[in-house]
Copies of this chain bind each other. A is one copy, B any other.
Amino acid sequence: MNKENLLVIKIGGNIIDDDGKLDAFLRAFAAVPGKKILVHGGGKLATRLAEQMGVEQQLVDGRRITDAATLQIVTMVYAGFINKNIVAKLQAAGCNALGLSGADGNSIRAHKRTNASVDYGYVGDVDSIDASLAGDLLDRGLVLVFAPITHDRGGQLLNTNADTIAQEIAKGLSPQFATTLVYSFEKSGVLLDAGDEGSVIGRIDPAYYRELKEKKLVFAGMIPKLDNAFAALQSGVGKVIIGKAEELGQLIEGQAGTTIVHA
């Protein structure tokens, strides 16, 4: 039996912080046919709000600590302002979107990160997603929009990395759907030359990835992203695409960005 296609698309702060780019992206996203899920990150609004509220951001080794006041802010900004504005804009574009945090319908279960040398505060690592709920909502014609907030089933909300959520959703839904996971970021794709946006590698399979790493042809900062992409493929995701959100249509068609495939 052929599985139906499902797109899981993650957009980051560079799009969310720019009203014009966000509107253009959401119009393009609404126009993509078929079943789809959007996972959004945060952007600068949470930091600005913390400044306005006089909540000092604690950083350890350059990483933000989610204390109780920061958790309140990210819950308000991610699950409230950003999520509901994206949903309303998608509705206006004729796309029947429904916004969710991981607490809603118990859709993403996580636990507070405790095994790190640093206490990151209310940060969640994903345990599992409810693929049955997401599948039913998609089958009802809804387009899901996930905010990067999860819960621990004990009443605690947790700030959670949006890349990880996108990956876990794509993995969790792969038994039901032929999934494509799209990570959008600032660059046009995986570049052979970090300074040259024209040097996008169109397609990477495991053999080519080994070669790129051996010859040190891939930018070091891309290695964790690519390792995650191959891990997603190992867990049943059909393909992973990395590229610019502004080129969504071309990314999905394989005409832009980098497509990462099994073989």
Interface positions of A (Cβ within 8 A of B): 49, 52-54, 72, 75-81, 83-85, 87-89, 91-92, 96-101, 103-106, 133, 136, 140, 142, 149, 151, 153-157
A204 to B51, CA, bound (A): 52
User: Copy number in this complex?
Assistant: 2
Q: Are A91 and B155 in contact (CB under 8 A)?
A: yes
Q: Are B96 and A85 in contact (CB under 8 A)?
A: no
Closest approach, in angstroms, between the C-beta of A26 and any C-beta of chain B? 9
Closest approach, in angstroms, between the C-beta of A97 and any C-beta of chain B? 7
Question: Which residues of chain B have C-beta atoms less than 8 A from A78's C-beta?
Answer: 80
Closest approach, in angstroms, between the C-beta of A115 and any C-beta of chain B? 23
Among B54, B84, B103, contact of A52 (Cβ-Cβ < 8 Å)? B54
A217 to B49, CA, bound (A): 50
- Among A49, A78, A81, max chain B CB count under 10 A is at A81
Measured CB to CB, the nearest residue on chain B to A156 is B88
Closest approach, in angstroms, between the C-beta of A146 and any C-beta of chain B? 12
Given contacts A53-B52, A136-B140, contact A84 B91 (CB under 8 A): no
Q: Are A92 and B153 in contact (CB under 8 A)?
A: yes
Question: Which residues of chain B have C-beta atoms less than 8 A from A77's C-beta?
Answer: 76, 80
- Among A76, A85, A92, A140, max chain B CB count under 10 A is at A76
Closest 7 CB pairs of A and B: A80-B80, A92-B155, A76-B76, A76-B80, A88-B103, A98-B105, A88-B151
Question: Which residues of chain B have C-beta atoms less than 8 A from A98's C-beta?
Answer: 100, 104-105
Question: Which residues of chain B have C-beta atoms less than 8 A from A87's C-beta?
Answer: 101, 103-104, 151
Q: Are A105 and B101 in contact (CB under 8 A)?
A: no
A91 to B142, CA, bound (A): 23
Q: Are A81 and B84 in contact (CB under 8 A)?
A: no
A87 to B92, CA, bound (A): 27
Q: Are A91 and B151 in contact (CB under 8 A)?
A: yes
Q: Are B79 and A75 in contact (CB under 8 A)?
A: no
Closest approach, in angstroms, between the C-beta of A99 and any C-beta of chain B? 5
Query: Can you list 28 pairs linking A and B with CB atoms under 8 Å apart?
Result: A49-B76, A52-B53, A53-B53, A75-B80, A75-B81, A75-B85, A76-B80, A77-B80, A78-B80, A79-B83, A79-B84, A80-B80, A80-B81, A84-B103, A84-B157, A87-B104, A87-B151, A88-B155, A89-B155, A91-B151, A91-B155, A92-B155, A98-B100, A98-B104, A98-B105, A99-B101, A99-B104, A136-B140
A136 to B133, CA, bound (A): 12
Question: Which residues of chain B have C-beta atoms less than 8 A from A54's C-beta?
Answer: 52
